Amino acid sequence: MKSAIYGVVAISAAAVGFAVYRFVLAPVVTPPAAEVVRTPAEQLPEPTTSAVSGIPTELPEFSLADRDGKVTSIRSWSGKSMIVNFWATWCGPCRREIPLLKEIQKTSGPAGFQVVGIAVDRRDEVLKYAQDMKIDYPILIGEQEGLDAVNLFGLESIGFPFTVFTDQQGRIVLTHLGELTKAQSKVMLDAVMRVNSGELTPVTARTVVAQQLSELHTP
């Protein structure tokens, strides 16, 4: 049964591709390869409904066992801007981005950010890998329970890695499907900080980030 679960996840991940970018509740949904011209965020009206049905506006509640076996809620880090990263030891892009997540926790932790890894994998393999990689941020672990947690975000397809960025109020600002790069993470972290300061709303932050990321990929 476990191998079947991982098989479904791997097939889905391959189908969506690890280079696909998704922004929760995005005001414009455009294929990744399209060239986008967007109106500046301050000129856009706030939509009254989600452009992507089923995706929550706040971090959903779920609990999984931590490395010590203690069942822990994802909302245990109240008041923090969360970076919730769904991953697995068998996922190559997941493994590659772990050093970046460690760096983010070290450099952005003092600014109120908290990285939490959600390992959708076998517990023994996660514990060994976390020790080998010296992962120093919290990890919650679950197989089917981990998949159930991913489903709470209303994804049409499951792929890893999948990362969720929230503000200090627990509102979902951004999501990212695929391996996160340092340049992308800087854009996203800066946007969350601007939401925390009141300069942007989560909706306008998504528009700003989409524009900035498109510029990163412009030749």
**Residue 45 in domain:** no
Phi-psi region of 112 (alpha: psi -120 to 50; beta: other; left: phi over 0): left
| The CA-based dihedral angle spanning residues 17, 119, 144, 21, taken in that order and rounded to the nearest 10 degrees | -30
Q: Is the pLDDT of residue 160 over 80?
A: yes
Average pLDDT estimate for 20-39 = 33
The pLDDT-based confidence of 99 (bands split at 50, 70, 90) is very high
Selected residue with higher pLDDT from 142 and 17: 142
Q: Which domain holds residue 145?
A: 2-36+51-216
Q: Write the DSSP assignment of 143-169 as a string of letters.
A: SHHHHHHHHTTT-SS--SSEEEEE-TT
CA contacts within 13 A on the Cβ side of 76: 16
Would you say residue 175 has pLDDT above 60?
yes
Residue 177 lies in a domain: yes
The identity of residue 10, as a single letter, is A
Q: Model pTM?
A: 0.77
Residue 43 falls within a domain, yes or no? Answer: no
pLDDT score of 219: 60
